[in-house]
Structure 1
Amino acid sequence: MVPRPALRPFTQLLARRGFQTTRTRSAGHQTHVDQFFHYPEGPRSNLPFNPLTRFFYIRYYAFWITAFSIPFASSYWMAVKEQ
């Protein structure tokens, strides 16, 4: 058991820091419970590609399969090639 006078400096420190319980606001937008914060042009306007095209997901998975297989393929090649 910790006596209450010993806890007083900690409780005063917490009260002095002023913890906030309200939600933070995004600059330039009004806060609403059901509102998501996007750029003024709309969602996905800041991406350098368009994920709504017809074959986007095929190109997406092909890129990542290729990108992750290159280190494994090169290490396999280095292991089996003649020295």
Structure 2
Amino acid sequence: LIFVITSYKWLNLNSFTIAATTGFVFSYIIVLLLRKINNSLTSYFYFNSDEILIVVLSVFITSVLGIIVGKKNEKKIKIKQA
């Protein structure tokens, strides 16, 4: 007999990765827009401590949301297959 073990960990990883990437891109754009508004757009790569805080918090929050969404999707798929 062949036993098939189904694992849905890829949903959590996929949701986490998409959320973290989205959070980073959006926060990077927000920081660049804030620099443009303040007329201080001198570098695309150097961030001061406030801007780093914006990026890190955004990535953290969207990553947590991605994990929550991944777990909810995992439960939905398990219920459908049961």
TM above 0.5, yes or no, is no
Query: Which structure has the highest helix share of the two?
Result: 2
Structure 2 length normalisation: TM-score?
Answer: 0.31
Structure with more contact order per residue of length (Cα contacts < 8 Å, sep ≥ 6): 2
Structure 1 length normalisation: TM-score?
Answer: 0.30
Q: Computing the radius of gyration over CA atoms, which structure comes out larger, 1 or 2?
A: 1
